[in-house]
Every structure is written in structure tokens, then in C-alpha cells.
Amino acid sequence: MSLRLPPLTALRAFEAAGRHLNFTRAAEELHVTQAAVSHQIKLLEGHLGQALFRRAGRTLALTDAGRALLPALGEAFGRIAEAVEGLGAAERDSALSVTLRPYFAMKWLAPRLGRFWQACPRIALGLHHSIEAVDFAREDVDLAVLWGRGDWPGVAAEVLLGGELAPVCSPALLEGPRALVSVGDLRHHNLLHEETRELWTRWLAAAGAEDVAAAHDTIVDDTNVRLEAAADGQGVALGWIPLLGEELASGRLVRPFAPALEGYAYYVVTPPGGLRRPKVRAFRDWLFEEAARDEA
């Protein structure tokens, strides 16, 4: 035989009324009407088949059944409250786990972190660096900043920083017998690629130079290393222009050609429903506030 438990709302109404021995105070505690408390207790008494209170005018007292039931309910609801509080404390105390591109973390995020700690001193950060797309279902990650076209399935992706992707190199490559004067001159140089040759293939197509084959192709998956190699004259890289302001202003890197790829950006990426968590929302909002500083 299965045991059908009373509705939780009725048990909660009885527990509150039993502690106060007053329906009005129980209603205030539960943020409902006195009539709602009375109705729930009547439902509970009907379910149990016995009275839980003795009513004499305005006086309210527990019956033997009520006195037997109340301590168990008080302990049960107390444990529930402790468990909920414990979960909240664990959420507050755990570090916010963020996955970032290493280049973005170094060039854009690191100089700004002091402002985040001032704005949100109680949120601890765990920053992890990767060039791979994040799998929220398998990885312990709360939020990611990814670079790409925003076409990751099953996540919420918001453009944080948009801009152009264009060839950059050392100014030394603009001189000499094999100087980069036109796009066709790339056939004499080394193209520095990311994980694959896809981006350079797209850029050459956009520049109307699909038939140009470089003298060498080198894959360097770390953007910091790839751009350093370009600055040292070891090849031509595709650089994301918004993060290269200092290098271009100083002349350490130059843009040999005008054509650029658009549609690539840095995105703030969260799992479905992730922004309902206060600390995830706080970090997301701070990122966008910092991005707005750059535009001001």
C-alpha cells in the first residue's frame, strides 16, 4: 500500500500556525491571507482524519495529534532551510570559473581586472586559458569569452568586441627585392596560420587573390606567439585590429593591405540560464561596461 503525503503548503501552514498558535501571524509569515492558512489546515486535518487544533473563541491550542506532528515538521523545515542556505553559501564562496582566449586575457582583460575587484570584491575569479570552444555540459565553466563568428550551438552568445581581421607584418617586409607591394607578393612570404588555413583562405578570397599560394605556411595556434613572429619579420599573420592599437601606432606592426575580414568578434558565452546566477550576471555586465569604456 502506498502512502500519499499531505501537500507541502498545508504542512507549512500548520507548522507556522503551530509555532505562533495564531493564524494571523502564520499568514503574515507566509505572506498569504488568514483564510488561506485556515483553508490549508482544514485540508490537512481532512487528509489525516483528525483535528490538529482546538478552537475556543479566539484561543487556539494544539491537540495531542498536533503536538505530535509539530516537532517533526519544525525539524524537517529547519533542515530544508539549512540545506538551502548551504547551497547559497557554496555558490557565494566558490570561484567564478571563466574560460578565455590567452591573447584576449593578456591584451584586454588583465589591465582591467583591478576595476572588477573594486566593483565586485566578494566574487572570486578562476581564469582558465584555452583556444578551444567550451563544453558547458562537461566542463566546470560558468562563462567564457570566445573568438569567432558566434555560431556555437546550445549557448547564449553576445558580441563583446567587434572589428576587422586583416594581415599584419613587420615593416621590414615592405622593403627589399620581395617587398609586399601587392597581394600577389604574398607568394614570396610565409603565411602564419591559426589552427587551420581557413582564415587565410577566406581573406585571400575576399581580396580577390584565391590563386595566390604562399612560399610557406606555418600553423602557430597561440596568437601571442604568432603575432610576435610577425613582428620579428618571420611571416605575415592575420591580426584582429581592435587589439593591435599599440603595435600599429608604434610601427612595430603594419597593415600591408587594406582588405579585411568582418563578422568575427569576441563573444561572451554562457550556458542556457547561466545569466540568472548573480555572480555570472555581475561579471558579464562588468565586461560590457569595460567594452563601453573603449567606445566612449
- Express each pLDDT in 113-136 by its tens digit: 999 999 889 899 999 998 888 888
Q: How many CA atoms does the CB half-sphere of 159 hold within 13 Å?
A: 8
Given this model, what pLDDT does residue 296 score?
A: 61
pLDDT at 294 over 90: no
Helices (H) and strands (E) in the chain, counts: 10, 11
Return the minimum-mean-pLDDT range out of 44-58, 225-239, 253-267: 44-58
Mean pLDDT value across residues 259-285: 93
Residue 2 pLDDT greater than 50, yes or no: no
CA distance 134 to 211: 35
Positions of E strands within 77-213: 96-100, 125-129, 143-148, 156-162, 165-168, 190-193
Q: Half-sphere exposure of 168 toward its Cβ, with a 13 Å CA cutoff?
A: 27
| DSSP state for residue 47 in the 8-state scheme | H
- The percentage of residues in the chain with a pLDDT greater than 90, rounded to a whole number, is 51
Q: Which of 147, 104, 157, 161 is nearest to 270 (CA)?
A: 157
pLDDT of res. 82: 64
Query: Mean pLDDT over residues 156-179, rounded?
Result: 94
Would you state the CATH architecture of domain 8-93?
Orthogonal Bundle (1.10)
Enter the C-alpha cell of residue 76.
524537517
pLDDT digits (tens, 9 = 90+) for 15-37: 888 888 888 888 888 888 888 88
Tell me yes or no: is domain 96-162+265-295 CATH 3.30.70.980.
Answer: no
Residue 90 has pLDDT above 50, yes or no: no
274, three cell numbers: 547561466
Contact between 21 and 67 (Cβ < 8 Å) = no
Terminal-to-terminal C-alpha distance of the chain: 70
Given a cut of 60, is residue 3 above it in pLDDT?
no
CATH 1.10.10.10 positions along the chain are 8-93
Cell numbers standing for residue 152: 556555437
Say whether pTM exceeds 0.85. no
- What number is the average pLDDT over the span 39-55? 87
Grade residue 86 by pLDDT with cuts at 50, 70 and 90: low
Q: Which pLDDT band holds residue 202 (cuts at 50, 70, 90)?
A: very high
Residue-level pLDDT at 143 = 96
Which residue did the predictor score with more confidence, 108 or 81? 108
Between 67 and 57, whose confidence is greater? 67
What does pLDDT average to over the chain? 87
**Residue appearing with cell numbers 593578456:** 106
The four Cα atoms 245, 249, 251, 257 give a dihedral, to 10 degrees, of 60
Q: Note the CATH number of domain 165-250.
A: 3.40.190.10
- Give the integer Cα–Cα distance in Å for 273 and 131: 24
- Cell digits for 178? 620581395
- What the block records as the C-alpha cell of 148 is 569567432
Q: How many CA atoms lie within 13 A of 239 on its CB side?
A: 30
> What is the pLDDT, as a whole number, of residue 92?
52
What is the pLDDT confidence band of residue 283, given thresholds at 50, 70 and 90?
A: very high
pLDDT 10s digits, 206-234: 999 888 888 789 999 899 999 999 999 99
Cβ atoms 227, 254 nearer than 8 A: no
Which part of the chain is CATH 3.40.190.10?
96-162+265-295, 165-250
Band (106; pLDDT cuts 50, 70, 90): very high
